[in-house]
Amino acid sequence: MTDLVTFQERQRPSRTTTADPPDSPRSVGWTHAKRMTLATTDVPFILDSGYPLAPLEVEYETYGTLNADKSNAIFIPHALTGDAHIAGWDADASETYRPWRLRYPGWWDAMVGPGKPFDTNRFFIIGMNVAGSCYGSTGPSSINPATGKPYGLDFPFITVGDWVRMEAMLLDELGIDRLYAVCGGSLGGQQSLEWALAYPERVQKCIVLAASPVLSAQGLAFNAVARQAIMHDAHFNNGNYYGGVRPDMGLAAARMLAHITYLSGRGMDVKFGRRRQRDFYANHTFDVEFAVESYLEHQGETFVERFDANSYLYVTRAQDYFDAAEKWGEGDLRKAFTRIKSEMMVVSFSSDWLYPPEASEEFVRALLHDRIPVTYVQLETSYGHDAFLVEEEAVGELLTAFLKGKSKLRCVK
């Protein structure tokens, strides 16, 4: 059955929920990251580029309990700069090891836990950090066995398809043959779609939030400028900055640029307007003066504390390369989608201009052409691309209904 629904919500001034403390009955509590070696020098992982990557180690986390027939597993791939720490509080974090996790729970804590949309009393949730990133999985900052030094830009190019094959290998090692669902937003949404295409027999339900089968030219352009900001930093040193001064200014500028794409014009007007940080024309300066400048500067400063500049180059390039039609349908999205056997849900957000609703509608029309069961929801919001993380109540209602098999979604005006 196919449902085309527009779900409209009143604008919310801020997040509707707060983080659950680790002792809350709704929290998954204290968590520990796990690591698994997926490839060795004897048996390397062959990337889409043909490059043999070894050793290959990935970091992952799980929440809930896998049932006896292993039918309750849900995989949640992360977005661009996310990680495997989806929910709960990192028991291994300290002032010297991932200190930001002392202040914040997992990036989708509002959705994963007892009684939450991804109910850990019912489901077994898995998250994995993608290779090429910098949160425990093999990436540019890892040691290259050929040189004994960090890879830097010698790390091979990697694709969304590579990530999904790695994720499938992880599930194989966990003894999970079939997923009840895969769900991701943004770059995680592209991974979800790739799962439905690459492993159609292994995915029962596929949820794609704030993503489409290809990134627009505008999105490619923003990623290109961000990479240039990093590579033109005086300390970039062709990617060989490990052990020295890092290209923090370039990485911060890249993050500031990206954050503009995550918001919306209307949302920025409401949140910041033209408010100033100092008296009106008290001092003509190029220093931070407007509230929106202060916000972006803060985002850049906090980002460089937790992310690696080379990793940013690689994960944005993987986002650029993803093209479901080109890979699976010889350029024809409808042909590509003949592979899909999952029940699909696609959620777009009205003010998202990184993956706009028009792209999602084209996505859904291609699914409909192949008579694939699909629920399409467009959420009315001022939060832009970040809405899949911020609109917790509305997104949570949709996920709960879809995961329970209730495909008839109520239209709220």
How many C-beta neighbours within 10 Å does residue 148 have? 7
Q: From the candidates 352, 360, 382, 386, which is the catalytic residue?
A: 352
Q: What angle do CA 96, 99, 101 make, to 5 degrees?
A: 145
Is 216 labeled as catalytic in the residue annotation?
no
Q: From the candidates 186, 212, 311, 360, which is the catalytic residue?
A: 186
Is 352 labeled as catalytic in the residue annotation?
yes
Q: What is the rounded CA–CA span in Å between residue 61 and residue 86?
A: 8
Assess whether the previous peptide bond of 21 is cis (omega < 30° from 0): no
What are 356's two structure tokens? 């706009």
What are 27's two structure tokens? 């929290």
Q: From the candidates 78, 311, 385, 386, which is the catalytic residue?
A: 385
208 - beta bridge partners?
A: 184, 346
Q: What is the rounded CA–CA span in Å between residue 134 and residue 246?
A: 14
**Contact 392/413 with Cβ under 8 angstroms?**
no
Q: What is the rounded CA–CA span in Å between residue 101 and residue 126?
A: 19
Catalytic residues: 186, 352, 385
